[in-house]
Amino acid sequence: MKQFLFITHKTPSAVQSPLRKDLFGLYLEALRGQTYRNWKVLLIGEEESEQQNIKTVKLDASSREVVPEKLAEIYGRRDVCEYLESSDYIVKLDDDDIISPTILEQASLLDFDVYHDDWHTFYDISSGMLTQEFRSWIPSTCIHATKHALAPINEGPFNYYRNSVLYTDHSKMWHIYYKDKHIVKAKKEHPVYLRILSPTSITAGAKKAPILTMSDIGFNQYYTYLKSFGYWNEAPAHDFDIYKVKLSKVWVDFSGAPQRPIRGISGLNAISDKFFYYAKRIRKLF
């Protein structure tokens, strides 16, 4: 029976918003709700514990930023290496994203070197909108055969964090590495995972961390960030319908207000943006 290992680096509590904490609860719920049961997690956080399916390894709890040297120490530990090597497949998953409830069952029936989404699936928690965008690179969250995830990329010192395919640039190196290997692409209707976008996230441009209240959010900046994911149209990824309801509640609990429409990223906005773009170009000619 194939075993799947998830690797998650938990957000340090010093920069973890209340919303992010609730999203971590949904991350765990989605794992525990898998239709395929042979999985485990390596969770790098602020404590050391081991329970059924989840091995938690302690990282410096006082740090607001993840220090590469500290992670290299963790990935050099014998118990961590053995935990990684004992799996058949490895998946990196952020602590605020949601794995598809049936994806491990589907993957267990296949033979592959990497299994990934061509159509990347995004959910904006402030609006409740879910969209998909075709992207030519392999997303950071995909399913690697362990022998490839842990393969060294050079002849340097042995360390799975410093010298493995898993921790190279997923948008560049992975396509080169997997070019001649067996790639399976997930169906658009059944993606590997759902990436959650939130205005409280540092990666979304939040300047203050942690964001504790709605008044700390800069929505204009956030909507500009959302445009980098394309002009949004509802996507047919119904595997996550149950989680859309739960995500909506998480937002309401944090904000005290219902989800609201996103400004500036609809199909109509795409048309108007093109119109103004060409209008500006024409004006420059005269």
Number of structural domains found in the chain: 1
pLDDT by residue (tens digit) across 189-223?
999 999 999 998 877 766 677 888 888 888 888 88
- Could you tell me the CATH number of the domain that includes residue 205? 3.90.550
Distance CA 7, CA 80 (A): 11
Residue 196: closest CA among 229, 170, 224, 221: 229
Q: What is the mean pLDDT of the chain?
A: 89
**Per-residue pLDDT, 61:** 54
Range of the domain at 138: 4-255
- pLDDT of 93 > 70? The answer is yes
Distance CA 44, CA 23 (A): 17
Higher pLDDT, 155 or 160: 160
In a domain, 207, yes or no: yes
Residue 92: closest CA among 186, 217, 7, 12: 7
Distance CA 51, CA 282 (A): 65
In a domain, 90, yes or no: yes
**Per-residue pLDDT, 63:** 57
**Per-residue pLDDT, 268:** 61
Residue 51 pLDDT level (bands cut at 50, 70, 90)? confident
For strands 39-45 and 143-145, give the pairing.
unpaired
In a domain, 274, yes or no: no
pLDDT by residue (tens digit) across 17-47?
999 999 999 999 999 999 999 999 999 998 8
Residue 232 pLDDT level (bands cut at 50, 70, 90)? confident
- pLDDT of 129 > 80? The answer is yes
Give the pTM.
0.90
In a domain, 263, yes or no: no
**Per-residue pLDDT, 108:** 97
